[in-house]
């Protein structure tokens, strides 16, 4: 039995190593490919380059505005996340802790929004945004992102607030602080891990958002990273410059990976702390 | 804790806290959603101002749309359930190993997460090189191992969906693995050890101790998967290089809806009909979210 | 103090705006189907500054990419369209002209006006028969910049080595395929993951057996009766014969080849021919080493209605959406961009065939040029089925055609199933 258990553990470990090895090799392959010539790629897809083609990177950098796209993405995603948190956190708090007429209905309404595919909203939403003159602006896009992120964020944060101990809040009431003060000084700090988790989840999903950005932004100076990357893909494949496209992938992936690695630790701590029970 | 009733002093807070969210949500989400439902009652290209009212015609047509149900809908269900089962099985396995005292734990965690941040376009290209019939990584490896009989044309129509599903699993597992890991990390070590001392087997500990203790996070993870699985779009769409509408093996509800609304070289442009498809997607996700929240209800509400 | 400041600010604003308002510098908004880095985008970036210098009209171009129509859709609906948009003619037609409403500006008068080179009208520069294929109620709304056709591109060296001539008839084609096969060289390189590449074969076979217009007729025949005509079965037999289910003249694994593996392999001597659009040289130019480009159209069939002088015209062009704020200036730009000198430059930069028939011809396409010079009739790509019956094409045709093309159903099954599914499809509408 013990032998069997050990074997199982070794197998599981081996699987983890194989899984990770595969991912690492995947990335190394992308890296190597980005330094090859096209002929080398299609002649010997898994081989090394004879001479690194740094030109692939140079030509991407000069003919595409990836750095601009990158800054736009950082700006619009950060702004959206701030808006989302400011708008959703108080609402999630109230919905999870106070029962009032219509609270259940409102909660269901918000939660069921998670099921709406946003492709559905594309055209009607465009009309709404157009009527308030918010098209082709990063701020306008951030509002759209905020609106579409409400259901999931509220759902997530409600889970966190619901799990917070009541004793502290009750004590605060008895001490005579008002409900808003109780929220700001006691409950919000306790619920912070939930807020952080929500922020990270939204950051991750908005960072890769493509369709809305493509629809709501008209000027290429405002394009976000996914839109820029998509343009790069079309451009490279219609001209057969596949290895240059891989250079683009590397340029886009590396900073994103760094951001995500920093954040993934936050995700872990956020989720862990948020779920501690009384 | 159960939600408490409204106290008089809380009234201003309720209004103040709910107003911004409700206002934005109603104006920018509910209103456009209702408008979308309205659009589904029309035959409309999306380009002209004139829309032809067809009542429930789009839904009637959708019910009889063989391709929609037998290809797009079935593929979505397969991604959801088969893909989901594999993803969560692997995620549990990996997170189980990762939650032990492993050397290089942090690096392994980061690598596990890595495919999640890749552009779906890059993933599609990477895997199409793996599956290439003659010099692809998979067939070359099989040849090396002397397993010639296993060599297949992996992206031929009959295998395409399965092959894409494998790529989809690879791309998504890391994300759910990290979430489960966070949950597993917080289970007190003593609880598990005492269970082992009581003679519980690996399986028993998993089902009786670990799963119940991470139920709330598991519910969130499953909800996330249900939503993402139904809306999965990028990888399937990128599979055809973004130049053509995806083949049957790469078509799910989200892809079908997109190409019906906006075309992709094939100029379908049927906003009303596509919106009806979107409503089917909505109903599917709503049903799943409802079922998951039901299944985990006791855990979520009883504190 | 504050008031004075505000007053000053307002005044200075006026001062800044006033001369601008008087001079009325027009800025054209141009939503473009290309993305930065593509040769076509480069061409536009080259000529736009010259246009601005010569006319004083500013051009604000956005390189949107192939999704340009989806992207401007909402702007068209809110009556705030860009002044100029480009895409292939079928997509423009399907989006803006196919409904009851006409959403583009009539270019009839513009075509009759004098061209930039002042040696005739704008219309004189084009083969008007091509433009009229995309006319609505006899009016032309789209002006092309590139002409693209489809046919077999081949490696002349390989043909020479094998002692094979470019085949003119289907029998020649099969013989050539057999010669290559006997030498162990794959004949056709192909990426089977792209359904519209697969569709080239059946569509061309129908064109050659039955002539233009029949495929579209069958695709839109709600009774399905058209599919009983023997020509459709004959065309299916042709496709099946060369497929994996028949004699298999394709490079191995074509049914699962992801774009661009098959065409790249072909470009590096892996196969002899590739049936594709004339964009192909651009896509593989980096891979081709020391070989001569050859082109021959889809072979004609003995006793068939289609002739070698029937040519496919797939056009990329410009249109001015209705409601555009500066239609006159947009036309001025079109006049400039279609001039002979600028068309020549587009050929140099893009290797594509310019729509201006007086422009020079790209070297890689010199064989295409020979056939184009002799062409007497033009038809739409895919006989117009893709753009005129798009949903049938996507839901009914693609799946069955892929099966036929990969040789997993017989020609007879193909016909009976397509008939049945076509009837079902239209009944459900």
E strand or H helix at C127: none
Q: How far is CA C94 from CA A193, A250, C97, C129, C136, in A?
A: 51, 38, 6, 19, 11
On whether both A21 and A90 belong to a single domain, the answer is no
C303 pLDDT above the threshold of 60: yes
Burial class (CB in 10 A: 0-12, 13-18, 19+), B85: exposed
In chain A, residues with a C-beta closer than 8 Å to the C-beta of C67 are 214
pLDDT of residue C331: 97
| pTM of the entire predicted model | 0.88
On whether both A264 and A230 belong to a single domain, the answer is yes
Residues 6+ apart with CB under 8 A from C328: none
Task: Chain C: give the shortest CA distance to residue B282, in Å.
Answer: 22
Question: Does ipTM come in above 0.90?
Answer: no
Q: Would you list the domain boundaries of chain B?
A: 59-301
pLDDT of residue B76: 97
Own/partner long-range contacts of A241-244 (Cβ < 8 Å, ≥24 apart)? A241/A38, A241/A59, A241/C286, A242/A33, A242/A38, A242/A41, A242/A42, A242/B125, A242/C260, A243/A33, A243/A34, A243/A35, A243/A36, A243/A37, A243/A38, A243/A40, A243/A41, A243/A53, A243/A56, A244/A34, A244/A56, A244/A59, A244/A60
Does residue C260 have a cis peptide bond before it, meaning omega lies within 30 degrees of 0?
yes
Q: Report d(CA B169, CA B79) in Å as an integer.
A: 9
Burial class (CB in 10 A: 0-12, 13-18, 19+), A131: exposed
Residue B113: which of A144, A163, A260 has the nearest Cβ? Answer: A260
Last residue within a domain, chosen from A42, A57, A72: A57
- Between A4 and C80, the more confident residue is C80
A vs B, Cβ pairs < 8 A, gives 271
**Taking the CB of residue A3, how many other CB atoms lie within 10 A of it?**
7
Query: What is the pLDDT confidence band of residue C380, given thresholds at 50, 70 and 90?
Result: very high
On whether both A85 and A181 belong to a single domain, the answer is yes
Q: Which domains does chain C have, with CATH numbers?
A: 19-141+314-379 (3.40.190.10), 150-311+383-427 (3.40.190.10)
B261 pLDDT above the threshold of 80: yes
Place of tokens 């595919």: A117
Place of tokens 């552009």: B119
Condensed to tens digits (0 to 9), the pLDDT of residues B8-19 reads 677 888 889 999
Q: What is the mean pLDDT of chain C?
A: 92
On whether both A263 and A175 belong to a single domain, the answer is yes
Last residue within a domain, chosen from A57, A76, A94: A57
pLDDT of residue C135: 94
How far is it between the farthest Cα atoms of chain C? 95
Length of chain B: 303
pLDDT of residue A275: 47
Residue A119: which of B6, B30, B258 has the nearest Cβ? Answer: B258
Q: Report d(CA A136, CA C64) in Å as an integer.
A: 13
Neighbours of A, requiring at least 3 CB pairs below 8 Å, are B, C
On whether both A166 and A257 belong to a single domain, the answer is yes
pLDDT of residue C12: 56
Residue ranges of the alpha helices (H) in C125-246? 128-132, 156-162, 170-182, 195-210, 214-219, 230-242
What 8-state DSSP symbol labels residue C228? Answer: G
Average pLDDT over residues C102-118: 96
Residues 6+ apart with CB under 8 A from A85: A153, A195, A198, A199
In chain C, residues with a C-beta closer than 8 Å to the C-beta of A237 are 260, 283
In chain B, residues with a C-beta closer than 8 Å to the C-beta of A264 are 109-110, 113, 178
- Between C278 and A192, the more confident residue is C278
In chain C, residues with a C-beta closer than 8 Å to the C-beta of A232 are 35, 37
Q: Report d(CA B73, CA C296) in Å as an integer.
A: 42
Q: Report d(CA A80, CA A87) in Å as an integer.
A: 10
On whether both A139 and A36 belong to a single domain, the answer is no
Q: Report d(CA C52, CA C46) in Å as an integer.
A: 11
**B10-23 burial: b if 16+ Cβ within 10 Å, else e:** beebbeebbebbbe
The listed range with the strongest mean pLDDT (A9-13, B119-123, B240-244, B292-296) is A9-13
In chain B, residues with a C-beta closer than 8 Å to the C-beta of A234 are 242
pLDDT of residue B300: 42
Q: Report d(CA C198, CA C403) in Å as an integer.
A: 10
Q: CA torsion sign, A147 to A149 to A151 to A156?
A: negative
Query: What is the pLDDT confidence band of residue C5, given thresholds at 50, 70 and 90?
Result: low
Considering only CA atoms, which of C100, C111, C46 is closest in space to residue C317? C111
Burial class (CB in 10 A: 0-12, 13-18, 19+), B190: exposed
Q: Does B212 touch chain A (CB under 8 A)?
A: no
Q: Does C270 touch chain A (CB under 8 A)?
A: no
In chain A, residues with a C-beta closer than 8 Å to the C-beta of C59 are none
Condensed to tens digits (0 to 9), the pLDDT of residues B189-206 reads 888 888 888 888 777 888
Full residue range of the structural domain in which residue A160 is found: 61-274
Q: Are B121 and B171 in contact (CB under 8 A)?
A: no
What 8-state DSSP symbol labels residue B13? Answer: H
Q: Does A57 touch chain C (CB under 8 A)?
A: no
In chain B, residues with a C-beta closer than 8 Å to the C-beta of A103 are 3
Last residue within a domain, chosen from A57, A73, A88: A57
Q: Which two tokens stand for residue C130?
A: 């091509």
* N-to-C CA span, chain A: 37
* Helices C68-77, A122-131: inter-axial angle, 10-degree rounding: 50
In chain B, residues with a C-beta closer than 8 Å to the C-beta of A278 are 303
Q: Are B249 and B256 in contact (CB under 8 A)?
A: no
Q: What CATH topology corresponds to B59-301?
A: MetI-like fold (1.10.3720)
Q: Are B293 and B219 in contact (CB under 8 A)?
A: yes
Q: Which two tokens stand for residue B75?
A: 């593929």
Q: Report d(CA B106, CA B186) in Å as an integer.
A: 16
On whether both A170 and A189 belong to a single domain, the answer is yes
- Between C154 and B101, the more confident residue is C154
Task: Chain A: give the shortest CA distance to residue B30, in Å.
Answer: 8
Q: What angle do CA C260, A212, A158 make, to 5 degrees?
A: 120
Q: Is A275's CB within 8 Å of B178's CB?
A: no
Condensed to tens digits (0 to 9), the pLDDT of residues B270-279 reads 989 999 999 9
What 8-state DSSP symbol labels residue C61? Answer: E
Q: Is A240's CB within 8 Å of C284's CB?
A: yes
B301 pLDDT above the threshold of 60: no
In chain A, residues with a C-beta closer than 8 Å to the C-beta of B179 are 267, 271
Q: Please report the residues numbered 49 through 78 in chain A whose beta carbons come closer than 8 angstroms to any beta carbon of chain B.
A: none
Nearest CA in chain A to B202: A5
Condensed to tens digits (0 to 9), the pLDDT of residues C27-55 reads 999 999 998 888 899 999 999 999 999 99
Q: Does B145 touch chain A (CB under 8 A)?
A: no
Q: CA torsion sign, C22 to C27 to C28 to C31?
A: negative
Q: What angle do CA B182, A104, B227 make, to 5 degrees?
A: 45
Q: Is A232's CB within 8 Å of C77's CB?
A: no
Number of domains in chain A: 2
On whether both A52 and A110 belong to a single domain, the answer is no
Query: What is the pLDDT confidence band of residue B1, given thresholds at 50, 70 and 90?
Result: very low
Q: Is B6's CB within 8 Å of A100's CB?
A: yes
pLDDT of residue C130: 93
Condensed to tens digits (0 to 9), the pLDDT of residues C184-219 reads 999 999 999 999 999 999 999 999 999 999 999 999
Task: Chain C: give the shortest CA distance to residue A28, in Å.
Answer: 20
Q: How far is CA B82 from CA B25, B94, C1, in A?
A: 34, 18, 73
Count of CA atoms in the C-beta half-sphere (13 A) of A22: 19
Q: Is B22's CB within 8 Å of A119's CB?
A: no
Place of tokens 């505000």: C6
On whether both A158 and A36 belong to a single domain, the answer is no
Task: Chain A: give the shortest CA distance to residue B157, in Å.
Answer: 23
Residue spans of chain A under pLDDT 50: 274-278
Q: Does A242 touch chain C (CB under 8 A)?
A: yes
Q: Report d(CA B95, CA B174) in Å as an integer.
A: 9
């Amino acid at each position: 039995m013990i032998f069997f258990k050990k074997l199982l553990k070794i197998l599981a470990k081996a699987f983890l190593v194989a899984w990770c090895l595969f991912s690492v090799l995947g990335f190394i392959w992308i890296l190597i490919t980005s330094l090859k010539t096209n002929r080398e790629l299609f002649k010997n897809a898994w081989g090394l380059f004879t001479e690194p083609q740094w030109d692939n990177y140079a030509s991407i950098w000069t003919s595409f505005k990836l750095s601009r796209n990158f800054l736009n993405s950082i700006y619009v995603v950060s702004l959206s996340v701030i808006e989302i948190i400011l708008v959703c956190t108080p609402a999630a708090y109230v919905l999870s802790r106070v029962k009032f007429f219509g609270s259940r209905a409102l909660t269901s309404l918000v939660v069921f929004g998670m099921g709406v595919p946003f492709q559905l909203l594309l055209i009607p939403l465009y009309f709404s945004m157009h009527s308030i003159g918010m098209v082709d602006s990063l701020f306008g896009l951030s509002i759209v992102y905020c609106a579409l992120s409400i259901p999931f964020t509220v759902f997530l944060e409600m889970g966190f607030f619901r799990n917070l101990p009541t004793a502290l809040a009750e004590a605060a009431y008895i001490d005579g602080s008002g409900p808003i003060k109780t929220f700001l000084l006691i409950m919000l700090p306790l619920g912070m891990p939930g807020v952080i988790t929500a922020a990270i989840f939204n950051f991750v999903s908005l960072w890769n958002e493509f369709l809305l950005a493509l629809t709501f932004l008209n000027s290429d100076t405002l394009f976000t990273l996914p839109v820029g990357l998509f343009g790069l893909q079309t451009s490279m494949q219609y001209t057969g410059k596949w290895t240059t496209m891989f250079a683009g992938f590397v340029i886009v992936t590396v900073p994103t990976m760094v951001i995500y690695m920093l954040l993934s630790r936050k995700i872990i701590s956020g989720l862990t702390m948020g779920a501690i029970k009384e | 804790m159960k939600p408490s009733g409204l106290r008089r002093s809380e009234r201003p807070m309720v209004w103040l806290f709910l107003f911004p969210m409700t206002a934005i949500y109603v104006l920018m989400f509910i209103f456009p959603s209702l408008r979308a439902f309205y659009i589904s009652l029309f035959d409309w290209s999306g380009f002209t101002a004139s829309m032809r009212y067809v009542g429930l015609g789009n839904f009637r047509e959708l019910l009889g749309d063989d391709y929609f149900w037998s290809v797009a809908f079935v593929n979505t269900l397969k991604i959801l359930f088969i893909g989901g089962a594999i993803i969560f099985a692997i995620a549990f396995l990996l997170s189980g190993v990762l939650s032990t005292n492993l050397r290089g734990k942090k690096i392994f965690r980061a690598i596990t997460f890595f495919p999640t941040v890749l552009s779906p376009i890059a993933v599609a290209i990477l895997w199409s090189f793996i599956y290439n019939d003659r010099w692809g990584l998979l067939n070359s490896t099989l040849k090396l191992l002397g397993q010639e009989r296993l060599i297949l044309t992996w992206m031929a129509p009959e295998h395409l969906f399965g092959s894409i599903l494998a790529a989809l699993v690879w791309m998504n597992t890391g994300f759910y693995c990290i979430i489960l890991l966070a949950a597993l990390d917080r289970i007190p070590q003593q609880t598990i050890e005492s269970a082992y001392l009581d003679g519980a087997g690996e399986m028993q500990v998993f089902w009786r101790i670990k799963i119940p203790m991470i139920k709330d996070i598991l519910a969130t993870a499953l909800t996330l998967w249900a939503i993402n699985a139904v809306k999965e779009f990028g990888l399937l769409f990128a599979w055809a290089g973004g130049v053509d509408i995806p083949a049957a093996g790469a078509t799910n509800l989200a892809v079908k809806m997109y190409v019906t609304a906006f075309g992709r070289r094939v100029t379908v442009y049927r906003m009303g009909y596509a919106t009806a498809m979107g409503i089917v997607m909505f109903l599917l996700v709503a049903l799943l979210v409802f079922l998951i929240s039901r299944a985990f209800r006791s855990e979520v509400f009883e504190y | 103090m504050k008031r004075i400041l505000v007053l000053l600010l307002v005044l200075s604003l006026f001062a800044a705006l006033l001369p601008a308002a008087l001079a009325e510098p027009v800025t054209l908004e141009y939503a473009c189907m290309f993305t930065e880095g593509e040769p076509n985008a480069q061409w536009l970036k080259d000529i736009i500054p010259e246009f601005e210098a010569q006319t004083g009209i500013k051009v604000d171009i956005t390189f949107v990419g192939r999704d340009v129509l989806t992207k401007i859709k909402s702007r068209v609906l809110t009556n705030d369209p860009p002044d100029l948009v480009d895409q292939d003619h079928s997509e423009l037609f399907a989006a803006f002209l196919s409904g009851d409403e006409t959403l583009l500006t009539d270019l009839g008068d513009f075509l009759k006006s004098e061209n930039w080179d002042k040696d005739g009208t704008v219309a004189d520069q084009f083969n008007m028969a091509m433009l009229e294929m995309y006319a609505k109620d006899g009016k032309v709304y789209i002006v092309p910049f590139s002409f693209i056709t489809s046919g077999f591109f081949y490696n002349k060296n390989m043909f020479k080595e094998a002692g094979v001539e470019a085949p003119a008839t289907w029998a020649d084609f099969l013989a050539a395929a057999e010669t290559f096969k006997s030498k162990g060289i794959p004949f056709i390189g192909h990426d089977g993951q792209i359904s519209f590449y697969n569709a080239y074969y059946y569509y061309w076979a129908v064109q050659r057996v039955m002539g233009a217009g029949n495929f579209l007729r069958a695709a839109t025949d709600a009774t399905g009766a058209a599919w009983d005509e023997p020509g459709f079965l004959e065309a299916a037999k042709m496709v099946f014969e060369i497929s994996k289910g028949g004699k298999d003249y394709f490079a191995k694994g074509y049914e699962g080849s992801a774009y661009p593996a098959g065409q790249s392999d072909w470009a590096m001597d892996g196969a002899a021919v590739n049936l594709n659009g004339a964009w192909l040289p651009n896509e593989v130019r980096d891979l081709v080493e020391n070989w001569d480009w050859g082109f021959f159209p889809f072979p004609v069939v003995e006793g068939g209605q289609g002739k070698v002088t029937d040519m496919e015209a797939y056009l990329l062009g410009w249109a001015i959406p209705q409601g555009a704020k500066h239609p006159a200036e947009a036309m001025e730009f079109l006049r400039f961009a279609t001039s002979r000198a600028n068309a020549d430059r587009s050929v140099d930069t893009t290797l594509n065939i310019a729509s201006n028939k007086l422009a020079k011809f790209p070297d890689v396409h010199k064989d295409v040029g020979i056939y184009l010079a002799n062409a007497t009739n033009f038809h739409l790509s895919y006989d117009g089925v893709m753009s005129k019956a798009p949903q049938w094409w996507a839901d009914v045709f693609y799946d069955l055609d892929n099966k036929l093309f990969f040789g997993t159903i017989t020609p007879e099954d193909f016909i009976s199933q397509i008939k049945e599914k076509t009837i079902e499809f239209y009944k459900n509408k």
